[in-house]
Chain A
């Protein structure tokens, strides 16, 4: 019994941090946000026609957002350095998602080496009111989030790949993004600058 209490005290209270930060940031109308994102997706579908290409474009857009969003996040949330990748996952799920989307995600399904995890989202403001037509099975509607995760983590020296594996718009109970750590980026002196 004592051991359980100690383990709980050891875990940082990211839920609480997430809520505190969320309370401080500016909010906008949820419907406006949802409709704006919806029109971006439908326009991309019209322009590119191939759904796989739309997925790629959404991810690229997300990446551009992520590399900028991380600065805002670090400035506002005051979360210090993460000890390891598992902590990073918790921070992304509980503080990051809370701050920018107002929802918390759950971290599940770690692999043996702690290099991969799943982010499970029960609801997502981006997909509110959306129903995918039948032929759109290949489209990962909220794929922009995968790019945001990739862009943001790259700026804090982690190279990851984030992909959607389940989506509520495809009939699943919850949406799931699989995040895989590819490598930790360390600053290396380029060969040309080394004194040899």
Chain B
């Protein structure tokens, strides 16, 4: 009802992808990789646009494509979360904000693993499973 997250990604400090996961088996993953990559430019724009004033972590909608909308969320450690959603009708901003918050907490828990080095690709099984659960309950 309303929103369906079709792709979630975590991008590192130097805009290197740490994690990209697509939840829509009908579309080719490459298409989402491309969408996420283009979204990074918008993120840069939004981050540098506001001078001085503290920027809200949630960046809002980055740009719309024909079927999807792309949302972004950044952290002070320059880690970016980008999701591609399929929405019908009104934007469910609050639900998306909540999703990002939980996504952020999930990321923090994964980083807390002493065997994970920050800026590595995220291969944690727990991360995958939890993210799946959250995507289902958006």
Interface of A toward B, CB cutoff 8 Å: 31, 34-35, 38-39, 41-42, 128-133, 136
Contact = CB atoms under 8 A, between A and B. Distances in A.
B115 A42 contact: yes
Nearest to B109: A129
Q: Which 4 A-B pairs have the closest CB atoms?
A: A38-B114, A129-B112, A42-B114, A131-B113
Nearest to A40: B114
A39 B109 CA distance: 15
Contacts, number: 29
Contacts of B109: 129
B47 interface: no
For the complex, would chain A's binding face be called helix, strand, loop or mixed by DSSP majority?
helix
A77 to B, nearest CB: 31
7 contacts: A38-B112, A38-B115, A129-B110, A130-B114, A130-B115, A132-B115, A133-B115
A42 B124 CA distance: 17
Contacts of B113: 38, 129-131
B125 interface: yes
A131 B125 CA distance: 8
Contacts of A132: 115
B46 interface: no
B126 interface: yes
A159 B51 CA distance: 67
